Amino acid sequence: MKPLFLFFFMALIQVGATQKTVATPDVVYGELFTDVQLSRIFPDNKTFVDCVPKRDPAAIVADYRRIKANPAIRFSLELFVQENFYVPSTPASGYKSTEPDVAQHLKELWTVLKRGNDSVVRGSSLLPLPHPYIVPGGRFREIYYWDSYFTMLGLRESGEGDMIEHMVRNFAYLINTYGHIPNGNRSYYLSRSQPPFFALMVRMLAGIKGDAVYTEMLPALQGEWDYWMDKTGPTKHVVRMPDGSLLNRYYDQLDKPRQESYAEDVATAKEAGNKKGIYRHLRSGAESGWDFSSRWFADGQNISTIQTTNIIPVDLNALLFALEETLALAYEQNGDAAKAQRYRDAAAARKKAINKYCWSVAMGWYTDYNITTFRHTRTWTLAGLVPFFLNVAPQNHIYIAAQNTKQRFLKPGGLITTDQRTGQQWDAPNGWAPLQWMAIVGFENYAQPQLARTIAERWLQLNTDVYKRTGKMMEKYNVVETDLEAGGGEYPSQDGFGWTNGVLMAIIAKYKGF
């Protein structure tokens, strides 16, 4: 076992020099890409970047330039795209169940959301994965990084341990191949990652398959840490704080419009006066998973003031604390006491820095920290409960945090995401499954079982009520006006939905008395 482990470990160390580079749709199609996205022949910019060419992309581009340059040719851009590309369908979005029992419906949904291992398709933006996986649903036709942890909660309750293993192995493959886990398995997502839940996925799999998982996944865990800590290249995720401690931020590697939201980003940049770095801030907001939220806005209201890379996010750093703890455990399992201690020390240092820079005594809440103003952002967001979910917070913080949760966040359908109404989907009045789950577990961790149960009961009731009305599980919910749909964001509300299903199944299993 050890020689094999060392081989993979050394291979992973070299990944920064050998990781694949893949051309993205804007590079492949040039002016055709720009014309299609800005003309909005597809209402959703994600549609074109998911298209598959019917023939050689270079030939398609050459024909497009020739036709476009000839004024004698009557030309339809929409028809040209239809003739030269296979346009993707969204099979899960049309799925509606007549099953009266929501729990049974959730189990049936795995077959709707399951995808087999991928084949290489020339010209496709999909990054092929070697094992089966679960997609969120709707417009999200590929695996997503942080979504998958919450989806796995439900897979575990469904006895789908093999699928969890497949997905963990896919993420390890992505680290080994590309140097990190991208936002999703698409070429246009390679410039960024998402909230680093891989360590928690490994912990879950070890709970199912045994502690040997830690040794097997150690190279991937190390690769994940190396990426976030700028060891595989100048990713600029690491920030040295005023006292010399290290914390992290979100930082996309590109500063140009997102390919899958090209028109929206161009419009936002125009609104912002094309300020320097606006595209990187937008992309980094997407890396956070909270795309978009007032927590990233300088004025707390308008996306044109987005400043993501200036922010030290409390939840990101709590997740990296968990990664460092998991690395310590994995090295201990592998018999390397020195490295185990190194990562225990790193976790302890990060925990201390989080509590120094992200706990606001004045608010009685964990908030983000702005590295340009050297102050708390003073934003009220549910990210402030992640330190309780991951046991970063000292016990004495729970009492004021619980009080603030009841007063500021608890609504008829669960917890609102922030206390601001901006029209963005990661703000009020919306609630999201992963944030409900982390709050529930966090309050359980810190001896607040009644508040945890109240949140769970309200979220379950809302999910169930919407399912009875629509026959569907949704990506997000309006937790304030529970008879209305959630809104905001760059696309219509999606149904499916991987992480909603996973969290609801976990809640039902946790509170069997419901």
How many other β-carbons are positioned within 10 Å of the β-carbon of residue 181? Answer: 28
Closest CA relative to residue 225, chosen from 371, 339, 129: 339
Q: What is the pLDDT of residue 108?
A: 86
Q: What is the pLDDT of residue 16?
A: 40
Active site residues: 291, 475
**Mean pLDDT to the nearest integer, 127-135:** 97
What are the tens digits of pLDDT across the range 210-268? 999 999 999 999 999 999 999 999 999 999 999 999 999 999 999 999 999 999 999 99
Indicate the SS3 state at residue 181: coil
Over 60: is that where the pLDDT of 4 sits? no
What are the tens digits of pLDDT across the range 469-499? 988 899 999 999 999 988 787 777 777 899 9
Q: What is the pLDDT of residue 13?
A: 41
Distance, CA of 301 to CA of 314 (rounded, Å): 20
Place of tokens 């769970």: 456
Query: Pick the residue with more confidence: 87 or 11?
Result: 87
pLDDT band, very low/low/confident/very high, at 17 (cuts 50, 70, 90): very low
Query: Pick the residue with more confidence: 173 or 105?
Result: 173
Buried b / exposed e across 486-507, counting CB within 10 Å, b at 16+? bebbbbebbbbbbbbbbbbbbb
> What percentage of the chain has pLDDT greater than the value 70?
94
Distance, CA of 85 to CA of 17 (rounded, Å): 34
pLDDT band, very low/low/confident/very high, at 467 (cuts 50, 70, 90): very high
Over 90: is that where the pLDDT of 9 sits? no
What are the tens digits of pLDDT across the range 20-63? 778 999 999 999 999 999 999 999 999 999 999 999 999 999 99
CB 241 within 8 A of CB 352: no
Indicate the SS3 state at residue 87: coil
* DSSP per position, 200-243: HHHHHHHHHH-THHHHHTHHHHHHHHHHHTTSSS----EEE-TT
> What percentage of the chain has pLDDT greater than the value 90?
85
What is the rounded average pLDDT for all residues in the chain? Answer: 93
What are the tens digits of pLDDT across the range 187-206? 999 999 999 999 999 999 99
What are the tens digits of pLDDT across the range 75-94? 899 999 999 999 998 654 45
| E strand residue ranges, 28-161 | 52-53, 85-86, 114-115, 133-134
**Mean pLDDT to the nearest integer, 117-134:** 95
Q: What is the pLDDT of residue 90?
A: 62
What are the tens digits of pLDDT across the range 312-361? 999 999 999 999 999 999 999 999 999 999 999 999 999 999 999 999 99
**Mean pLDDT to the nearest integer, 418-428:** 97
The one-letter amino acid code at 299 reads D
Over 60: is that where the pLDDT of 12 sits? no
pLDDT band, very low/low/confident/very high, at 107 (cuts 50, 70, 90): confident
Q: What is the pLDDT of residue 96?
A: 64
Indicate the SS3 state at residue 379: coil
